[in-house]
Amino acid sequence: MPAFVHPTAEVDGAEVGEDSKVWHQAQLLPGASLGRECTVGKGAFLSSTASVGDLVKIGNYASVMGAQVESEAFIGPQAYLMEDAHPRATNPDGTRRGPGQWEPRPVLVRRGATIGGGALILPGVVVGEWAMVAAGAVVHKDVAAYGLVAGNPARQVGWACVCGQTLDDELACTCDRSYLLRDGELTLAP
């Protein structure tokens, strides 16, 4: 099926994959890339260097600033993925700072990861596969695959299953999946 773009959305020059939906007042700058079967909520923003995989949901008013978001990820409403580690409005000489006058450090959201509503992911952070960032968290360092982080600053408070539930102390889930922890890395048990 072709993509659906609401008449109030701005997507000229952006790539929008098949069967994706871009809703009211969303803005995808020229150069942004959105995969197939994605949803971009009302008022969401993707910068010109944002790259989004397939089957991704981006909530209302979320901002994806140059990030790479892999397939099956979830970006909650009003989440913000930053890319400028040293933001300033002007250069040291007092002139207005413009495009290309800063060093981009994009966020990388790995496959299946969840960024909760209102979370702030700082420049250069990698959120691991199937990780879970709690709503309102401020993430300033990388998140392990399957890691569950919360707070300001965010700290790991547990582990998350592929299904989204929190693992118990034995690293098992109510969905009957279990995991192994070796050298600080969690993997799905065979």
pLDDT tens sequence for the chain (190 residues): 899 999 999 999 999 999 999 999 999 999 999 999 999 999 999 999 999 999 999 999 999 999 999 999 999 999 999 999 999 999 999 999 988 888 899 999 999 999 999 999 999 999 999 999 999 999 999 999 999 999 999 999 999 999 999 999 999 999 999 999 999 999 999 9
Find out whether 20 and 40 touch, Cβ atoms under 8 Å.
yes
Nearest to 111 by CA among 77, 147, 145, 152: 145
Does the residue 90 lie in any domain?
Answer: no
Give yes or no for a cis peptide into 153 (omega within 30° of 0): yes
Rounded to whole angstroms, the Cα distance separating 5 from 12 reads 11
Q: Are strands 147-150 and 132-133 parallel, antiparallel or unpaired?
A: parallel
Specify the CATH number for the domain of residue 40.
2.160.10.10
Does the residue 93 lie in any domain?
Answer: no
**In which residue are the tokens 């790539």 written?**
15
Give the range of the structural domain holding residue 185, as residue numbers without chain letter: 1-85+103-190
Does the residue 129 lie in any domain?
Answer: yes
Task: Reduce the DSSP state of residue 54 to 3 states and report it.
Answer: coil
Does the residue 92 lie in any domain?
Answer: no
Domain count, the chain: 1
Does the residue 121 lie in any domain?
Answer: yes
Does the residue 187 lie in any domain?
Answer: yes
Does the residue 97 lie in any domain?
Answer: no
Does the residue 126 lie in any domain?
Answer: yes
- Phi, psi angle pair for 39, to nearest 5°: -130, 130
**In which residue are the tokens 């971009």 written?**
40
